[in-house]
Every structure is written in C-alpha cells, then in structure tokens.
Amino acid sequence: MAYTPHTWNNEVITDAKLNALENGLAAASTLTGTDIDANKDCNGKTFSNLNIGGNSNLLMLASASDTIVTAATGTKPITSDEPLKVFEIWLSPQNAGGSTYRCKYDLVATYFAMYAALYVNDVQVGPTRLLVASSQAYAEDLVLKGGDRVQVYTWGEPGGSGYSTYLQLCADFVPVALSSTPSNRVTL
C-alpha cells in the first residue's frame, strides 16, 4: 500500500490516527504490501532474489565469459567411428533468447585420429576438431536460447583410442525481465 503523509495542524492524536501510523510502520517493515517505484534511482545498486508476483529472480541474458556456470564432467571414451554424443547440457527456459555462452570442451587422442564437434539440439554448429596423439582444449562462443541442448559429439578412426573429459558453459549474466534464475541441467 502506498503511504500518504498526514499534515498535522495542532490536532489531537486519536486512536484511529495512531493505529494508522502503527499499521503503516508494520507494512513498511516487510516488502509485503509495499509499493516500489520502478523509476527509483538506486545509485547503481543491483537487486537479486526478488519475489514478484510469485516468480523469483529475473530472466537472465548471458554474455560469454570464462566464468563457469554449468559443467558436465567425466572421462568419456571415444568408442565409435561415427559421431556419438558424450556430453549434453540443457539450458533452462529462464535463459533469455540471444544469450551468448562460451562453450569449452576437450579432446584427447591417444592413438590414431580422434574427432570432436559442438552440436546444439543434435545439429553440428562448431567446426570438426581433429587430433592425433595429443590433447587440446577448445572454446567456442554460441548464441543460445532457453531449452537449447548443447552437446559434444566425438568419434575416431577404427582401432584408435581417445576420450573427452568435460563440457562447460561459461557466461556472465544481466537481468532483463521477470522470471527465475537459469538452472541449466546436465542430461548426459
């Protein structure tokens, strides 16, 4: 409820006016029932963990950085000469469209040629990486939206061996609209 000040002119403080003051103070001690002026100058302060209309936090727009926000890890041997999905991270619907993530992954080739590539929703979007008897970390910036599945596929020459150990999504976030904080999910 919005506060309306009372102008006092040599009046007697009545029970009704005192109760109105008490109720106003009680309402001001919590955010419940308090109007917030959206045009308020907050001197550059940021708000987080808001609960507005039953939805907590803000819809977030990601910009690529080296800050890891979600990671899928574990040694995934390369077992096929055809592309095989070894890591997958599903972006929460609370990610704003047009979010840019830095996608990091690795490839280790211990014998013969090994290959890896980034996919989004089972469609290759990054270049095919080729390694022979070495290891390499890769990073590619991708524009994604909520619901996208970012994947690493690997494959190798018959008789070869190799593996991949991680897929990381890295970003910094800027709030853009009301919703929930992204909580990406490792699905493979």
Phi, psi (5° rounding) for residue 26? -65, -40
What does the mean pLDDT of the chain come to?
81
Domain boundaries, given as residue ranges, for the chain: 15-54, 56-186
pTM for this prediction:
0.65
Lowest-pLDDT choice from 22-26, 38-42, 64-68, 130-134: 38-42
- Higher model confidence: residue 141 or residue 35? 141
At 69, the pLDDT band (50, 70, 90 cuts) reads very high
Could you report how far apart the first and last alpha carbons of the chain are, in Å? 49
CA distance 160 to 132: 10
Mean pLDDT value of segment 68-76: 95
Are 86 and 152 in contact by the 8 Å Cβ rule? The answer is: yes
Domain 56-186: give its CATH code: 2.60.120.760
Six-digit token string for 188: 């493979």
CA distance 138 to 140: 7
- Higher model confidence: residue 180 or residue 162? 162
* Whole-number pLDDT of residue 14: 82
pLDDT value at 76 more than 90: yes
- Higher model confidence: residue 162 or residue 44? 162
CA distance 57 to 177: 9
Closest CA to 68 of 95, 46, 101, 94: 101
pLDDT, one tens digit per residue, over 78-109 is 989 999 999 999 998 878 788 999 999 999 99
| Per-state percent for the chain, helix, strand, coil, to nearest 5 | 5, 55, 40
- Higher model confidence: residue 47 or residue 122? 122
CA distance 116 to 102: 16
CB count within 10 Å of CB 150 equals: 25
